[in-house]
Amino acid sequence: MRYRTLGRTGVQVSTLALGAMNFGAIGRTTQDDATAIVDAALDAGVNVIDTADWYSGGQSEELVGRAIAGRRDDVVLATKAYMPMSDEPNHRGSSRRWLTRALDDSLRRLGVDHVDLYQVHRWDPETSDEETLSALTDLQRAGKIRYLGSSTFPAYRIVQAQWTARERGLSRYVTEQPSYSALQRGIEAHVLPVAQEHGLGVLAWSPLASGWLSGAVRAGQPASTHRAGVLPERFDLDVPANRARLDAVEQLAKVAADAGLTLIQLALGFVTAHPGVTSALIGPRTPEHLRAQLAAADTVLSDDVLDAIDAIVPPGVDLAPEEKYDTPPALLDARLRRR
């Protein structure tokens, strides 16, 4: 396992980090499976575990908490808040009122007295950066969190938050967690350069493109990835974007084979090759999935292989732009574009 410094924090983190979104009802992963995955990951040198309050309604945090019991000091523990946790309108977002409550709930579910990285799961257009950062700064000073992070923020919001922290004397986000894969490269144009400019660590989620790059989606066979059963429309080959993805997958699989790699090794090696990326977040649902992904721990792609990937999916291009989660609200809500 290789290690890199998380932004400018001095904290050393593994280039593969364990994402726990599949723990619980979402991935039908039991406590026994979660514990086996966590134990195997830590034994292999993974030292980052990332979860969120929203994953399976808090169940992921509970499973992670039990799995790391007795090994807490070995883990850089990260969680997130923002997503709705009930129908109550104030049980979501990034207000001081909610983040204070959400963090206490996460600490209880995790069975710990602090988390190492607390991330705002999405940019909240209803809440000012000053409100959010002042609340997080106070929680940091109270010893409940060590570092602050953002997730899936548009590049201009990352810059705005950095400016607010500096101007108001508040703690700043030291990490960003964007979606990034060989099929979804849009963040190369703006988010990754901004993160590098501001010294942010980057924890890239969905490096296997929701299973498209796991080997479970190939031409001439039904998609066997779990995600295809949950979101079948994203794998429907009657959709032009999905046909384009499948074509790219077939070409990438050949590049991998010619290089003596699995498609998973190629996909994870691509993400960790970018100088702006600190770690790739893998999200295994079973111990078998984890073993296949850990095989990429030491994968370093040659320039020829990276050039071949560029020829298939050009830099900065998203093959499924409608699946991005950092689109500014003004592009989604017509009322924000009209008088």
pLDDT tens for residues 49-74? 999 999 999 999 999 999 999 999 99
96-153, pLDDT tens digit by residue?
A: 999 999 999 999 999 999 999 999 999 999 999 999 999 999 999 999 999 999 999 9
- Relative to beta strand 76-81, strand 115-120 is parallel
pLDDT at residue 224 is higher than 70: no
Closest CA to 280 of 18, 11, 76: 18
Task: Give the other-Cβ count within 10 Å of 315's Cβ.
Answer: 11
pLDDT of residue 321: 82
For residues 181, 12, 135, 171, the Cα torsion angle rounded to the nearest 10 degrees is -100
52: its two tokens: 């969120």
Q: What is the mean pLDDT of the chain?
A: 94
281-327, pLDDT tens digit by residue?
A: 999 999 999 999 999 999 999 999 999 999 999 999 999 887 877 77
Dist CA 310 CA 156 (whole Å): 26
pLDDT of residue 229: 66
pLDDT band for 228, please (50, 70, 90 cuts).
low
For residues 158, 160, 166, 167, the Cα torsion angle rounded to the nearest 10 degrees is -170
**Is 162 exposed, middle or buried, given 0-12, 13-18 or 19+ CB atoms closer than 10 A?**
buried
Query: What pTM does this model have?
Result: 0.94
pLDDT of residue 54: 97
Residues tagged active-site: 55
Dist CA 205 CA 280 (whole Å): 6
pLDDT of residue 308: 98
199: its two tokens: 């010294």
Dist CA 137 CA 98 (whole Å): 14
CB 111 within 8 Å of CB 65: yes
